[in-house]
Amino acid sequence: MKLSQFNNVVPYNESVVLYNAFSNRYLLVDPLLNDLIESAKAENNIDDLIGYHPTFYTALVTNGFIVDNERDELESVKMMRMKVDMEDESQYHLIINPTMNCNFKCWYCYEAHEKGSKMSNPTIEHVKKHISNVVQSMPDIKFFNISWFGGEPLLYYDQVIVPVMDYVKEFFRDRSCKFSTGFTTNGFLINEKMIADFPSFNITNFQITLDGDRETHDAVRFVSSKRGSYDEILANVFALCRNKMNVSIRINYTKSNLKNLESILYDFLPLEEDARKYMLISFHKVWQETDVTLTGRIRELHRFFRNNGFRATFADMDMPDGLRNSCYADKKNHATINYNGEVFKCTARNFSTDAKEGMLNEDGSISWSQKFYDRLDSKFKNKPCLTCPILPICNGGCSQEAIEHKGQDYCMYDFDEQRKKNVVLNKYINLLQNSVA
């Protein structure tokens, strides 16, 4: 037997957290037990642990900290990646951008604001054919998910979204394959007619962003110098929750706006308790923010909202699960169709023509370029990742990161071993918080 290459050891209070990134198992142990492991490791005889502490040895084997000598753990990671990203024929994820225009101009947005951009009627028909083609070509498909993105997708709700969703509703009516729909939207344009439509379209979730408290948000997302958007967006969020639709409130944070975020809770209090279960508060660091020391403050906010009766999650790069729950762009059965018929994978970069990975054809098929195949083959080419103890959760970043770092050694944590230990510790503390919630 041998120690797993994916073992991690992190001090926590007076104890030691043992974490195996492949099995995703934790053991909280006395430091003396960890010393036993280190001693057996130094003597190159892990099986000596049986004689010293048979119960501990059994726990290490059961939880994946000790594995067979013949086991190729890196190959196990690659096989899991194949199963999750390449071989799962049970589901398909389609992202549609009705437009690249938006009614706001947030300072951190990476997308181009293309005025007048709108999906044409012929392209709408090609999208419908694509949906039909996918379902008919995947006999084992069970779930089809459509996500509306952009730009602000609701700018063309009647002209683009309704025609597609009317088709989808009828197409899936008598099929065993289930469909669901969600929106990434600023939430400002939601109205009563839309809310009345949403249930019939099986719209299950919304991601709506707040940029801090009222004052901070309205300085970023405003209609005019005298009219912000915070109150109207919040009213629309409440209306969705009251109509039993799930809303993830994405609170974008930087170091500068963290100090006042508790005040948002008091604006949420008018929402009735039975409607609050449809709201999830999620904290996301703005991509331009480089400070890596903000985790403790976010954990405080996470605890604050949960202690006051609201669901909250800690969605951050510092708590990844990139192998088991990989990015949609890493998966073979995913496409992002832009308003002009160009096809992409990643939505976290701008949709410039030179970055497209395919083109939607008149018959609904996609002609993928070499970029698409290069993406699917981009994983596990970075040598530092292959010996890293957190590879199964970091996964070398997403496929976009792998592409952008092609031919160079890189690390999502800047080769900072302490940051990696903090990742493990953050995941463990979050597990503890969730277990007592």
24: exposed, middle or buried (Cβ count in 10 Å: 0-12, 13-18, 19+): middle
Residue 98: its pLDDT value, please?
97
Residue 199: its pLDDT value, please?
93
Residue 160: its pLDDT value, please?
98
Domains of the chain: 1-71 (no CATH), 82-371 (3.20.20.70)
CA 31: distance to chain centroid?
Answer: 35
Residue 427: its pLDDT value, please?
87
Number of Cβ within 10 Å of residue 15's Cβ equals 15
pLDDT tens digits, the chain, 437 residues: what are they? 999 999 999 999 999 999 999 999 999 999 999 999 998 888 888 888 888 899 999 999 999 999 999 999 999 999 999 999 999 999 999 999 999 998 777 766 666 677 889 999 999 999 999 999 999 999 999 999 999 999 999 999 999 999 999 999 999 999 999 999 999 999 999 999 999 999 999 998 999 999 888 998 888 888 887 888 999 999 999 999 999 999 999 988 888 888 888 999 999 999 999 999 999 998 888 777 777 778 788 888 888 898 888 988 765 545 688 899 999 999 999 999 999 999 999 998 889 999 999 999 999 999 999 999 999 999 999 999 999 999 999 998 899 999 999 999 999 999 999 989 989 998 888 788 766 55
Residue 430: its pLDDT value, please?
79
Q: Cα dist. 125→130, 198, 286, 361 in Å? A: 9, 21, 36, 10
Residue 404: its pLDDT value, please?
92
Helix (H, G, I), strand (E, B) or coil at 250: strand
How far is it between the farthest Cα atoms of the chain?
75
Tell me the one-letter amino acid at 362. E
Residue 437: its pLDDT value, please?
52
HSE value, Cβ hemisphere, 13 Å, CA-based, for 184:
16
Give the C-alpha separation, 102 to 39, whole Å: 60
12: exposed, middle or buried (Cβ count in 10 Å: 0-12, 13-18, 19+): middle
54-62 vs 31-42: helix crossing angle, rounded to 10: 80
Q: Are 148 and 98 in contact (CB under 8 A)?
A: yes
Residue 299: its pLDDT value, please?
81
Residue 433: its pLDDT value, please?
72
Residue 223: its pLDDT value, please?
84
